[in-house]
Amino acid sequence: MKAVNYTAAAFLVVLIFYLLIVGESLLLPLVIAVALWYLINTLAQGFNRLKFGNFRFPMLLCYFASFLTFGLLIWALINFLSSIFDDVLQVAPVYQENLTRRLQAVPFVNIADFDNQGLTQLVTEWIDIPSYARSIASSFASILASGGLILIYLGFLFLEQGQFSNKISALVSDREKEEDARKIIDRIRDDIQKYIGIKVFTSSLTGTVSYGFLLVVGVDFAAVWGLLIFLLNFIPTVGSIIATIFPALLALAQSDGYSLFLLVLLGIGAVQICIGNILEPRLMGSSFNLSPIVILLNLALWGYIWNIPGMFLCVPFLIIVTIILSHFPQTRPFAIMLSADGKLRVPVEKTFTGFHFGQMENLLPPGSEHPIEKDTNKG
C-alpha cells in the first residue's frame, strides 16, 4: 500500500512540474498577478492605518491610492528600462571583451587547466555579459507582452476577494472552529505582511544606497545596478553575493586598473553586510532566511521551469510557504529544515495546536467523530 502511495505521489509531482513548464504562458502571469494583488492590498491597508487625529482615509480611497502608486511605479520602470536596454545591449560585448582581456592579464589565473580549457576561458564563459543582458531583456519583453493577461487575472482576483470571508463561513459551520480558522489566517497574514514590508524597506534601502555609491565612484549604468540589487536582495545570501560580485566585475571591465574593482567590491559588500546582516535581523527579530542549499536548488529548479522571472519569484514565495508551515506543529519540522539556522520567528507556544493543518475533518459540521480541541493559547 505504501509503495502505491509513493508511486502516486511521485506521479503527481512529475505531472505538476510538467504542467508548470507547458502552461508557463498562462501560469506565470497568474503568479505575477497574485503577487501584485497581495502588494496592492498590503499597501492599501497601510494607507488605511494612517490617522490624522480622529480622521482615517476611507478604504475605497486607500485602494485608489494603492492602485495609482503601483501604476506610476510600473510606468516609470517601463520607461526607464525601455530607454536604457538598447545602450546596455550595445555596450555588453565591449565589456565582455574588456573583462576577458583583464582576466588574461592576471598572471596566476591560467595556472589551472580543466579539460584543456584555461581558468580564464571557463570564467568568461560563465560570466557571459551579452547573454545575461539579452536574457533579461527577453524576460522583460515577455512580461510586457503578458500585461493584458496579468490585468485580467488581477481584476478577477479583486472581484473574488470580497467573497473569501463568506467561503470560510460556509466551509466551517461551527462558530468556534470558524474563529480558530480566522485566527490562523490573521496571524499568518500579519507575519507575511511584516516580512514583505521589512524586506521591501531593506531592499529599497540597499538598492538606493548602492546606486548612490556606484554613481559617485563612476560605475556605468549605476541606476540599472541599483534596480538589480533591489531585486536580488529578495534572494537571501545568494542574491547578496551576486549583487556584490557582478557590479565589481563591471567596474573591472570598464576601468584600466584594479582600484575601482576593489572599491566597488568593498563598498557594495559593506552595504550588504550593514543592511542585510545588522539592520534586517534587528527589524525581523529572528530571520526567516532559508538554507543556502535550499535557495540554490530552488533557483536552479525554477530557473529551468520559468527562466529569470521564476528565479526572482521563487524565493520570496518559498519564504512565505515557510512562514505558513511554521504556524502548525504538524508542518513546523519542514519549516525548520528549510530555514538557515533552525530558528523560526514563530515560537512553539504560539503555533496552533487546536486547529490541525491538513486534517479536514476539523472543518466538518458538528457531530463528527473528532471534535476540535480547545485552543489553550488564546490571547
Q: What is the pLDDT of residues 276-327, one digit of tens each?
A: 888 888 887 655 667 888 888 888 888 888 888 888 888 888 888 888 888 8
Question: Alpha-carbon distance 127 to 139, whole Å?
Answer: 18
Write down the pTM of the prediction: 0.77
Contact 292, 238 (CB under 8 A): yes
Question: Alpha-carbon distance 110 to 104, whole Å?
Answer: 7
pLDDT band at 333 (very low <50, low <70, confident <90, very high): confident
φ, ψ for residue 117, nearest 5 deg: -120, 130
Question: Alpha-carbon distance 307 to 311, whole Å?
Answer: 7
Question: Alpha-carbon distance 317 to 339, whole Å?
Answer: 14
Contact 250, 225 (CB under 8 A): yes
pLDDT band at 262 (very low <50, low <70, confident <90, very high): very high
How many contiguous H segments (helices) and E segments (strands) does the chain have? 14, 4
Give the residue among 240, 247, 205, 204 at the shortest CA–CA distance from 225: 247
| Contact residues for 228 (Cβ-Cβ < 8 A; gap 6+) | 243, 246
Helix (H, G, I), strand (E, B) or coil at 332: helix
Contact 340, 287 (CB under 8 A): yes
In the prediction, which pLDDT does 359 show?
A: 43
- pLDDT tops 60 at residue 65: yes
pLDDT tens by residue, 4-40: 777 887 888 889 888 888 888 889 999 999 999 999 9
